[in-house]
């Protein structure tokens, strides 16, 4: 491994491990004074804001070739295509990948909504996920993404939703290296009369380059008779850890899209989405924004079927 000792005394020592095992060994040796870095765009904001101290050592994982491969395709046991995105794939690479835009359009749209191109050319998908509030997360939750970790002993998979819950209570994950994000197969083929509704919205205080007030990802299948055959909803925004709205999904699934269902859906989102408020947008404002985004998309789907 190479060490690049900076000249300024306050600057961290930057390590450049050649592979995942080496990176994990370094982390074990350095403990809390060694921090993984990929694009460094988020860590930089934490240091500047004083919310995290600059560590003595940075373990730069952006050069590990096995984690760099932006998109790799594999096959599931039932012969369907799985998509594996290297943790250090740049947001701009994910955005421009044709397989992602065809099969995982919510993720491609999410990429467009993160920061400006200069940041997207440095920032990685893994870094966005591990921020725990990144705008990619609602889209990844809707696709039921898995995380591929290396803990120094070997690699293992974990559902993203499970990790998000675990990470709140337990910081042990900070010693692991994220290798890749795995997206299960999606079936775009529709039965006759059914139509897909795949929508991602990020609402901020202005149109672009702004933190999110509410971020919503919706993936649904609606029958010709306006029954909701399948639906997945995920919401986040600001410093709120994104999550699926399982109880609202349960309410919608199998039901017929009509005005009364939309009203119940609105109430359900207000009840089950618990965002963090701040000086710019209160809890109630964020809840109503998310509820309006979801209900307005379902209403549009209902109009198309009328
Ligand atoms: C001007 C600006 C605007 C931004 N706008 C947005 C926005 O609109 N939406 C949004 O979601 N984010 C935004 N961000 C935040 C940030 O750019 C993204 O979240 C980005 O994807 C983080 O990726 P990174 O590679 O730079 O992460 P880094 O800063 O390198 O790391 C982030 C965290 O992940 C850890 N980490 C990184 N990679 C790994 C790995 N492979 N294994 C283990 N740990 C790892 C690091 O230790 C650190 O804790 C913005 C940042 C800036 C500076």
Q: pLDDT tens digits, residue range 267-306? A: 999 999 999 988 888 999 999 999 999 999 999 999 886 6
Contacts of 124 (CB under 8 A, 6+ apart): 38, 39, 62, 87, 88, 89, 90, 91
Q: Are 39 and 61 in contact (CB under 8 A)?
A: no
Residue 176 and residue 91 share a domain? yes
- 177: which 2 tokens? 């290296």
The domain boundary residue, chosen from 18, 40, 60:
60
Residue 91 and residue 11 share a domain? no
Q: Is there a domain that residue 189 lies in?
A: no
Q: Is there a domain that residue 257 lies in?
A: yes
Residue 213 and residue 242 share a domain? yes
Query: Residue 29 above 50 pLDDT?
Result: yes
Kindly report the CATH number assigned to the domain that includes residue 209. Answer: 3.30.390.50
The domain boundary residue, chosen from 130, 151, 183:
183
What is the pTM for the complete model shown? Answer: 0.94
Instruction: Among 119, 147, 208, 236, say which to mutate for ligand 1: greatest number of ligand atoms within 8 Å of CB.
Output: 119
The domain in which residue 150 lies consists of 66-183
Q: Is there a domain that residue 190 lies in?
A: no
Residue 293 and residue 212 share a domain? yes
Kindly report the CATH number assigned to the domain that includes residue 149. Answer: 3.30.465.10
The domain boundary residue, chosen from 60, 90, 110:
60
Instruction: Please report the atom of ligand 1 found closest to the CA of residue 37.
Output: 30
Residues with CB under 6 A from ligand 1: 35-43, 45, 61, 87, 91, 114-115, 119, 123-124, 126-128, 130-131, 134-135, 177-178
Contacts of 293 (CB under 8 A, 6+ apart): 201, 203, 214, 216
Cα 303 to ligand 1 centre (Å): 39
What does the pLDDT look like over 88-102, one tens digit per residue? 999 999 999 999 999
């Amino acid at each position: 491994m190479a060490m690049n000792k900076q000249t300024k005394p306050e600057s961290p020592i930057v390590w450049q491990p050649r592979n995942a095992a080496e990176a994990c060994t370094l982390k074990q040796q350095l403990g809390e004074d060694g921090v993984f870095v990929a694009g460094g765009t988020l860590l930089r904001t934490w240091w500047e804001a004083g919310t995290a101290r600059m560590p003595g050592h940075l373990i730069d994982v952006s050069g590990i070739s096995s984690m760099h491969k932006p998109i790799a395709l594999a096959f599931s046991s039932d012969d369907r295509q799985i998509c594996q995105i290297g943790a250090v794939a740049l947001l701009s690479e994910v955005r421009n990948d044709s397989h992602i835009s065809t099969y995982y359009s919510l993720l491609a749209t999410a990429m467009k909504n993160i920061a400006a191109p200069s940041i997207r050319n440095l920032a990685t998908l893994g870094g966005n996920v591990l921020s725990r509030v990144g705008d990619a997360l609602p889209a990844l939750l809707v696709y039921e993404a898995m995380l591929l970790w290396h803990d120094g002993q070997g690699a293992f998979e974990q559902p993203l939703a499970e990790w998000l819950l675990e990470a709140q209570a337990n910081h042990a994950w900070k010693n692991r290296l994220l290798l890749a994000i795995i997206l299960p197969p999606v079936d775009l083929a529709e039965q006759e009369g059914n139509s897909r509704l795949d929508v991602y919205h990020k609402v901020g205080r202005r149109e672009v380059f702004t933190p999110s007030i509410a971020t919503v990802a919706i993936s649904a299948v609606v029958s010709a008779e306006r029954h909701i055959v399948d639906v997945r909803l995920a919401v986040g925004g600001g410093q709120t850890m994104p999550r699926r709205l399982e109880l609202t999904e349960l309410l919608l699934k199998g039901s017929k899209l009509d005005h009364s269902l939309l009203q119940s859906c609105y109430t359900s989102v207000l009840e089950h989405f618990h965002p963090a408020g701040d000086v710019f947008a209160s809890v109630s404002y964020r809840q109503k924004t998310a509820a309006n985004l979801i209900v307005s998309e379902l209403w549009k789907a209902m109009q198309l079927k009328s």
